[in-house]
């Protein structure tokens, strides 16, 4: 039995651990109490025979939610630059991971060796967190870097495999501002986005997440300097952003929608509109038949037609016509039995319909948005400046500039598919990614 306790984490992310117990089995009563104390279990309550039986089985006693895992370890040691480097392979029934640990009493020496090994941009992950990732247990974070907003979720996976949301929020950073004009992500939007993601990374660390998955969607994908943005973000935050395809976006949206709503076996379309593109996935029940992405997003049409303030009816008609042309791929398709919409545009439209001064996912989830309500809101936004839109109850203030374009895209999709309404899911790509990367399915 080898027990260590985390004592300190410095500004470089280096961790100092203190040995608490190292003993062979069988353990003495005092040693058992030491182990239970390190696990956060109330030792007095644990004296109860029933509680001890639980602890010796698959623990969930009066302390935190715990699981026992059989781990096989192979390791070797080398000396690098005066510090000890331990190379380890940890294996469980769910797979294996390889790790490298650099150890020395001098933290400056550790930092120097890590830099010399080219590992300075990698996130420091201790063994408990690495094992949690491997067995899909504990807290995990997902960051979805979109063209208009960055979405962030932390969820906790328990022993039963069920998710419990800890944090779920979005920050509108307008990363794609000016992208349609220049073909590149511009300096100020990049700064806003990097700062927002840095805050999310710090929040994830405070919540002791086992792992973070981050993806970049249409804006990052289309920009000439998308890879440079990803590299800058890695250096600033240590977060590795994967640029995913439009097809993968659609797949993750479909996973989120089908997990979040009770759906029948009929034809289903999942529609996810963002700042830079829209994704469509067609299927029956949970079976995907086709998915594709089109470069139809709220940021682009807002900038192209000046939809961020009061808009003359003639210009609105021009914008709707342009959106319809870009969505020609939907022409001639049958009306689906179930039509689900996800993303910031549809959730904001639902929140405004319900006049939610405080966003409530339980009310938004399952809302049926029909053409009449969307037309009402289009007129509401068309006749108001951005500041006046921000006064509308239910509308996220930072979405005031792009909500009219988003509503026009939703309205056009409904018309193209011959549907009178859609069902809103407040789950999105980030929830699909959470399930794909860290779920136990």
| Nearby residues of 128 by Cβ (< 8 Å), 6 or more positions away | none
Report the chain's C-alpha Rg in angstroms. Answer: 25
pLDDT of residue 121: 64
Taking the C-alpha atoms of residue 429 and residue 151, their distance in angstroms, rounded to an integer, is 9
pLDDT tens-place values along the chain, 441 residues long? 788 877 777 766 777 778 888 888 888 878 887 877 776 666 665 555 444 444 444 333 333 455 566 777 788 888 988 888 888 887 777 667 777 888 888 888 988 888 888 877 666 766 766 666 665 668 899 999 999 999 999 998 877 777 888 999 999 999 999 998 999 999 999 999 999 999 999 999 899 888 899 999 989 999 999 999 999 999 888 899 999 998 888 888 888 887 756 666 789 999 998 888 999 999 887 788 998 999 999 999 999 999 999 999 999 999 999 999 999 999 999 999 999 999 899 999 999 999 999 999 889 989 999 999 999 999 999 999 999 999 999 999 999 999 999 999 999 999 999 999 999 988 888 988 998 888 765
Burial of 178 (0-12, 13-18, 19+ CB in 10 A): middle
H-run or E-run covering 71: none
Domains recognised in the chain with CATH numbers: 2-132 (no CATH), 139-244 (3.30.420.40), 260-433 (3.30.420.150)
Task: Name the packing angle between helices 371-382 and 344-354 (round to 10°).
Answer: 90
Peptide bond into 25 cis (omega under 30): no
CA distances from 125 to 93, 131, 360 (A): 20, 10, 34
Taking the C-alpha atoms of residue 302 and residue 309, their distance in angstroms, rounded to an integer, is 9
pLDDT of residue 417: 96
pLDDT of residue 137: 67
Taking the C-alpha atoms of residue 51 and residue 64, their distance in angstroms, rounded to an integer, is 13
Taking the C-alpha atoms of residue 367 and residue 349, their distance in angstroms, rounded to an integer, is 10
DSSP letter string, 3-21: EEEEEEE-TT--EEEEEEE
pLDDT of residue 150: 95
DSSP letter string, 210-241: SEEEEEE-HHHHHSTTHHHHHHHHHHHH---E
Beta strand residue intervals within 43-94, DSSP E: 72-80, 83-92
Name the pairing type of β-strands 15-22 and 2-9.
antiparallel
CA distances from 14 to 98, 117, 123, 186 (A): 19, 15, 10, 34
- Using an 8 Å Cβ cutoff, are 188 and 170 in contact? no
């Amino acid at each position: 039995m080898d027990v260590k306790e985390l004592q300190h984490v410095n500004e470089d992310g280096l961790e100092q651990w203190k040995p608490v117990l190292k003993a062979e089995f069988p353990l003495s009563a005092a040693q058992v109490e030491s182990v239970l104390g390190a696990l956060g279990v109330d030792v007095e309550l644990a004296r109860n025979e029933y509680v001890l039986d639980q602890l010796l089985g698959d623990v969930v006693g009066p302390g935190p939610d715990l699981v026992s895992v059989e781990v096989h370890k192979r390791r070797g040691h080398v000396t690098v630059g005066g510090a000890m480097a331990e190379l380890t392979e940890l294996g469980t029934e769910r797979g294996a991971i390889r790790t490298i640990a650099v150890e020395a009493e001098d933290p400056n020496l550790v930092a120097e060796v890590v830099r010399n090994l080219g590992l300075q941009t990698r996130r420091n992950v201790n063994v408990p967190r690495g094992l949690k990732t491997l067995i899909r247990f504990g807290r995990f974070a997902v960051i979805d870097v979109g063209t208009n907003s960055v979405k962030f979720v932390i969820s906790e996976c328990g022993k039963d495999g069920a998710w419990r949301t800890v944090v779920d929020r979005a920050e509108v950073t307008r990363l794609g501002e000016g992208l349609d004009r220049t073909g590149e992500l511009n300096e100020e939007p990049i700064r806003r986005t990097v700062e927002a993601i840095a805050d999310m990374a710090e929040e994830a660390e405070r919540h002791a997440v086992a792992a973070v998955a981050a993806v970049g969607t249409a804006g990052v994908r289309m920009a000439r300097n998308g890879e440079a943005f990803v590299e800058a973000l890695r250096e600033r935050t240590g977060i590795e952003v994967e640029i995913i395809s439009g097809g993968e976006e659609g797949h993750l949206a479909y996973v989120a929608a089908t997990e979040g709503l009770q759906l029948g076996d009929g034809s289903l379309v999942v529609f996810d509109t963002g700042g830079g593109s829209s994704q469509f996935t067609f299927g029956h029940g949970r079976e995907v038949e086709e998915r594709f992405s089109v470069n139809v997003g709220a940021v682009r049409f807002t900038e192209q037609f000046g939809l961020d303030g009061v808009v003359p009816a003639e210009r609105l008609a021009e914008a709707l016509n342009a959106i319809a042309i870009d969505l020609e791929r939907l022409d001639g398709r049958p009306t689906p039995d179930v039509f689900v919409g996800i993303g910031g545009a549809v959730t904001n439209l639902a929140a405004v319909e319900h006049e939610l001064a405080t966003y409530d996912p339980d009310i938004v989830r399952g809302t049926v948005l029909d053409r009449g309500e969307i037309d009402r809101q289009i007129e509401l936004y068309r006749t108001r400046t951005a500041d006046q839109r921000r006064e509308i109850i239910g509308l996220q203030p930072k979405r005031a500039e792009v909500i009219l374009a988003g509503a026009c895209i939703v309205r056009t999709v409904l018309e193209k598919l011959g549907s009178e309404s859609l069902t809103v899911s407040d789950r999105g790509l980030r929830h699909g990614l959470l399930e794909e990367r860290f779920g136990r399915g």
